[in-house]
Amino acid sequence: MAKIKYNIKLWVDDAAGFAADETVYAENDFLFTSDTGVLKKGNGEDVYADLVDLANVSTWAGMADKPTVIAAGATAAAAWGEIQSGAIGTTATKAAAGNHNHAVVEDVDSGLAAAADIQSLAIALSTRIKALETAP
How many C-beta atoms lie closer than 10 Å to residue 25's C-beta? Answer: 21
Check whether residue 61 and residue 15 sit in a common domain: yes
Q: Report the pLDDT value the prediction gives residue 45, as an integer from 0 to 100.
A: 95
Residue 109 near residue 101, CB atoms below 8 Å: no
Q: Report the pLDDT value the prediction gives residue 16, as an integer from 0 to 100.
A: 95
Which residues of the chain fall short of a pLDDT of 50? none
Check whether residue 66 and residue 23 sit in a common domain: yes
pLDDT in tens, 86-101: 656 656 666 666 666 7
Provide the domain count of the chain. Answer: 2
Check whether residue 40 and residue 78 sit in a common domain: yes
Q: Report the pLDDT value the prediction gives residue 59, as an integer from 0 to 100.
A: 67
Q: Specify if 95 maps to a domain.
A: no
Check whether residue 7 and residue 70 sit in a common domain: yes
Residue where one domain finishes, among candidates 36, 52, 82: 82
